[in-house]
Amino acid sequence: MSTRPLYSFDRHYLDRLIAEDPETERHFTEYFGTLLSLKLRSKLRSAAQVEDARQETFARVLITLKQKKGLASAESLGAFVNSVCNNVLFEMYRSNARATPIEDEPEPETGEASAEWRVLKSEERSMVRDAIGELPQKDKELIQWLFFEERDKDAICRELNIDRDYLRVLFHRAKQRFRERLAVRMEQR
């Protein structure tokens, strides 16, 4: 088994990445794509989840790099990508835990705790429903198809007459808008 040589990142590399240099972007996604896939395969159930987490990690890293303060030290790019990936994984775990149907979760034993537990679960479901209800129709459909119906992404692409990369972009935007609306509802709670 061959080992991948470590790459030393410098400010010039980050500047090219921020400027969307195609060769640098290709290197970045190939270099970290392999490493992220290896990490994510051991932690997620499906290839689709691995790919979603990988793309989400790339998107967040690139957005951060393009912000005014960006990344303080170019040498820490590898550690930063790893940290972002860990955050994405944590959010996916948390999201999956929240998506577990109420019937599958053990109900507390005492009557008092049981009533409180049912009220909290009802409030959470209501917040999610309301947040989804506020989304544009296209976002609602994508979330419904991919999260609840677990439809095949290739079938969705054929139906919408788009390619897989654009579906990824649309779904990323839909998830982002949903997260923003849900966060507002949770703050108001």
pLDDT at position 114 = 58
Q: What is the C-alpha radius of gyration for the chain, rounded to an integer number of angstroms?
A: 20
Q: What is the pLDDT of residue 113?
A: 52
pLDDT of residue 96: 65
User: d(Cα 137, Cα 35) in Å, to the nearest integer?
Assistant: 36
Q: Is domain 126-189 given the CATH code 3.90.45.10 in the classification? A: no
Instruction: Write down the pLDDT at residue 12.
Output: 92
C-alpha 119: how far from chain center? 28
- The runs of H, that is alpha helices, within the chain are 11-18, 22-41, 47-66, 77-99, 111-133, 137-143, 153-160, 164-188
Question: For the chain, which residues make up each domain, given as ranges?
Answer: 11-98, 126-189
Distance CA 108, CA 120 (A): 12
Per-residue pLDDT of the chain (189 residues; tens, 9 = 90+): 445 556 778 889 999 998 999 999 999 999 898 889 888 888 887 888 888 899 999 989 988 888 877 788 888 888 899 889 988 888 887 776 555 444 444 455 555 555 655 655 667 777 778 888 888 998 888 888 887 778 888 888 998 898 888 888 888 888 888 888 877 777 666
The pLDDT value recorded for residue 115 is 60
Residue 1's pLDDT is 42
Q: Quote the pLDDT of residue 122.
A: 67
pTM passes above 0.75: no
